[in-house]
Structure 1
Amino acid sequence: MESSILPFVRKSVAVNLKLMSVLESKLGLPRGALAARHSLQQKGGSEARCIRSQPRSEPMSEAAAAIGAHTDFGSLTILHNRLGGLQVLMPGTDKWLYVKPLPGHAICNIGDTLTVFSAGILRSNLHRVVPPPGAQGGLERWSVVYFTRPAYEVRVKALTEESFLIAEAASKAPAGKYDTGETAGEWVTRRIKYHRLKNRIGPESWRANRGVEEMQV
């Protein structure tokens, strides 16, 4: 098992660090600003996950699918899968569109912490997983994912002191919108806890699961 997981994690980390270096440049951040906040030398919530979904005998209702709609609460998500089922909500609409897997390609999602770090310049996407369309619906759906999240002690706030572009974007937003008041560890713990349906016992606990979804739609 280790011989399979470690190479996958190392390659995922390398790809994510490359993507972050490009984003640093585009956001006007100092080189290594994002990478330093995701250092593997510090304790953090990054994780690899293998997900197996059984075929459904009946179609999923829209109400059931809506419960699973979310944004990722980390920074970057790299997804590998061969069957459809991933849907994204197009900004400004109520239309969900399938993301078609392409051979030899991976799907990358921007997560909420990058939205906050960039003061909304980068946008996390609202997405959900539903049964694969057509004949694919009768097959098991396997996906392998790597979630990159900041080190636990990193404060989840806009990097206004390190980028003029980010400072300018933050200045146009309501005060405090891009300062969560939480460390990444607190942010992840809260989001995971209230993502579980059994912990949602009212409107406040439902809101506690939210990240920046309400900023995006």
Structure 2
Amino acid sequence: MPVAAFPEFPTNVPTHPLVVIDYQLIKNGDEKEMDMLWKAATSLGFWYLKNHGAEEDVENMFDMGAETMNLPMEEKMKYEQGDEGSSFGYKAAGTNATDASGTPDKTEFINVAKDDALAWPKQARRAYPSTVNDRMESTIIPFVKKSIEINDTILSIFNTKLGLPEGTLQKLHPLDEYSGSEARTIKVPKNFPAEKQALGAHTDFGSLSFLHNRLGGLQVLPPGIDEWQYVKPVPGHAICNVGDALTLLSGGILRSNIHRVFPPPGAQASFERWSQVFFTRPENSVVLRSLSEESSMIAEAVSKLTEEAEGSFEPRGHVVRVV
């Protein structure tokens, strides 16, 4: 569905403003823009990213997702994630909890491993529905490669800002080693109760998330504020955020902020909510620890933490199964 066909985000709904970062500027080393990115990543941990060049790839991924979700449930369940801890494959609605009381989630999605996209036509991690395979070369691989390029650029900037030896963070996210990095296409049904969460409160457990929304629904809980606030979707702007892995590696300097998904507000609630995201995660053998031995900045940050605080950091949320 063309973006122009959707109702606008309601003007009377409170939102949390995000810093807008121009990807082309940070890619070309603009110091002011990189400073803005750093400030966003170390405060709220969320920001908009414009001029990223992935718009067409994202629209193609939405088409792939619609084709996949339209398959019979029996066919989709052949590629279900399973109970062994892997996130790759299909996830049906209702398999995760959105709160401590166990309320089922409303999200349905398909996850494609970075490893499978880059190994195609060989199978690296698992098999996928025909709708995924048919679009691997034309749709999925271009989106994965563009997302990797963008997130690697951001990792490089963080690496420098943290005072780490050149390439340290990139070496923890190599393309030729298996990792949990994946492309996820998400569908949330229309017209379900406004008070119900589609996806419960959580932090992302990876390093960076590169998210594209057509409709509202994403909410953040900013530091020092007790009320959840919507993040307004802006055409052509991705929403990026830091995950738990970078928070741990940076000794808490980079912020992984809690967020959740509620139904779109206002007239947008009458439409299916589609999202497209790429999660960059460290390769599987990486031990998540602060890189204090490699950076005096990180060492200083860790020294300011109490022993209890450093040892007790864990993802915050109510998701009862790894996704």
The normalised TM-score by structure 2 is: 0.54
Separation in 1 of the partners of 2:206 and 2:195?
27
Separation in 1 of the partners of 2:162 and 2:169?
10
Change (3 A) 1:12 1:115: same
**CA drift at 1:45:** 0.6
In structure 2, the partner of 1:195 is 319
Separation in 1 of the partners of 2:245 and 2:303?
18
Separation in 1 of the partners of 2:284 and 2:167?
18
For structure 1, the residue ranges without an aligned partner over 5 or more in a row are 181-186, 198-208, 210-217
Contact 2:200-2:319 within 8 A present in 1 as well = no
Change (3 A) 1:52 1:143: same
Larger Rg: 2
Aligned-pair identity (%): 54
Separation in 2 of the partners of 1:18 and 1:57?
38
Separation in 2 of the partners of 1:149 and 1:124?
13
Change (3 A) 1:24 1:57: closer
Change (3 A) 1:4 1:147: same
**CA drift at 1:33:** 0.6
Contact 1:83-1:101 within 8 A present in 2 as well = yes
**CA drift at 1:177:** 4.6
Q: Which of structure 1's runs of 4+ aligned residues deviate more than 4 A?
A: 176-180
In structure 2, the partner of 1:135 is 267
**CA drift at 1:57:** 3.7
Among 195, 213, 221, the residue aligned to 1:60: 195
In structure 1, the partner of 2:160 is 25
Separation in 2 of the partners of 1:120 and 1:57?
37
1:105-131 deviation line (CA, Å, top 9, x unaligned):
100010001000111111101000000
Q: Is 1:124 aligned to residue 256 of structure 2? A: yes
Residue correspondence of structure 1 range 40-55 to structure 2 within 5 A:
40-55=175-190
Report the number of matched residues. Answer: 185
Separation in 2 of the partners of 1:91 and 1:149?
24
1:153-187 deviation line (CA, Å, top 9, x unaligned):
0010000011100000001112375468xxxxxx9
Letter of the 1:196 partner, please give it.
Answer: V
Among 307, 312, 323, the residue aligned to 1:175: 307
Contact 1:73-1:112 within 8 A present in 2 as well = yes
Q: Is 1:35 aligned to residue 159 of structure 2? A: no
In structure 1, the partner of 2:278 is 146
Contact 1:89-1:96 within 8 A present in 2 as well = yes
SS at match of 1:155: coil
